[in-house]
Structure 1
Amino acid sequence: MKLTQKEMEIVEILEKDARLTTEDVAKMVCLSVEETEQAIKKLEDHKVIVRYISLIDWGKVEENTGVKAMIDVKVTPKRGVGFDEIAERIYRFKEVTSVYLMSGAYDLSVIIEGKSMNEVASFVSQKLSTLDSVLSTTTHFILKKYKHDGIIFEPDNKDKRIVVSP
């Protein structure tokens, strides 16, 4: 879908902060509230705007005991459907939060969430590795998130006072 300049501005604004009111977005793009509402509805109807989400720093939540892992997957593409069929089989698992087609040594990058490292290991060994097209996997556990979707989670809070010495 080809976007107008105003639609592109709206998408970029909402991607940075989806909590802005329609009135605020309208002012930022110099449109009326009605025109802005129509543009946003069109973007939602065409699935350009897929969903509005909150970005949570789970590292600050003590009760959060979950684990995230990135899994590099090498697969055999199938004639006529390429990587799409195996990607769809993988993203249908409830543990999977994201699947990307990649260039380089591995074909797919899969991000999953589990309650423990053992749960992630079980997913890889019992569900992912057993799929016909999967040739190999490499699992990377996410230990700490520093930046996600352009948001820095722990900004530099170092002491910025000037050192004074005699």
Structure 2
Amino acid sequence: MRGKILQLIAKNSKLTPEEIAKEINADPQQVAKEIKLMEENRVICGYNTLINYDNTDRELVTALIEVKVTPQRGDGYDKIAERIYRFDEVKAVYLMSGGFDLTVILEKSSLKEIALFVSDKLATIDSVTSTATHFVLKKYKDHGIVIERGDKKDRRMIISP
């Protein structure tokens, strides 16, 4: 039951226990109890709303920052990651395999604000040896949700010889 509940609320966190119970043929009170238990055990860590800021008047720039670090003795990457994720502007931090150690995801209202974060906060951490910043140009799908459908009409003017 737990796996089915997680699948459903991962797609739509607004589902009520009654709606989930109906979908998986279970008792609504048992579903509510299971959700509460998963929240207490940090299986469910929170609920988010996915917003397409391109359809609002708010400017938002998303950056993915590759970070190379020197791991700390006894703590590895954990203390460095914690120091980074404590910054309010950081949306996510992931430990990676491959050519760099951490990915930091940041959302700010301008490229300049991201550049200032990288130069003033991130790059000044002792264990950080290098960074590479990538900017998201367009989001097509995020958290399993299609952001912009490809069925928009082509508004270009047709020019024929």
Long gaps (5+) in structure 2: 154-161
Equivalent of 1:93, from 76, 83, 87?
Answer: 87
Query: Are 2:118 and 1:124 equivalent residues in the alignment?
Result: yes
Letter in 2 for 1:35: Q
3-state SS of paired residue (2:92): strand
Deviation at 1:95, TM superposition (A): 1.4
Deviation at 1:115, TM superposition (A): 2.1
Cα distance between partner residues in 2 of 1:119 and 1:41? 39
Cα distance between partner residues in 1 of 2:49 and 2:108? 20
Match of 2:66 in 1: 72
Query: Are 2:129 and 1:135 equivalent residues in the alignment?
Result: yes
Following superposition of structure 1 onto structure 2, how do residues 15-164 of structure 1 map, counting pairs within 5 Å? 15-61=10-56, 63-157=57-151
Letter in 2 for 1:43: M
Q: TM-score, normalised by structure 2?
A: 0.91
Deviation at 1:151, TM superposition (A): 1.1
Cα distance between partner residues in 1 of 2:152 and 2:140? 16
Deviation at 1:158, TM superposition (A): 5.8
Letter in 2 for 1:147: K
Say which is worse superposed, 102-111 or 49-58, in terms of deviation: 49-58
Q: Indicate if the aligned counterparts of 1:26 and 1:36 stay in contact, CA closer than 8 A.
A: yes
Deviation at 1:138, TM superposition (A): 0.2
Long gaps (5+) in structure 1: 1-5, 160-166
Q: Indicate if the aligned counterparts of 1:59 and 1:144 stay in contact, CA closer than 8 A.
A: no
Letter in 2 for 1:64: R
3-state SS of paired residue (1:156): coil
Cα distance between partner residues in 2 of 1:94 and 1:37? 31
Deviation per residue, 1:103-152 (Å, 9 max, x gap): 11010000112221111111111111111000000001112111111111
* Matched pairs, number: 153
3-state SS of paired residue (1:90): helix
3-state SS of paired residue (1:131): coil
RMSD, aligned CA: 1.2
Say which is worse superposed, 16-25 or 101-110, in terms of deviation: 16-25
3-state SS of paired residue (1:65): coil
Aligned-residue identity in percent:
48
Q: Which runs of 4+ in 1 moved over 4 A?
A: none
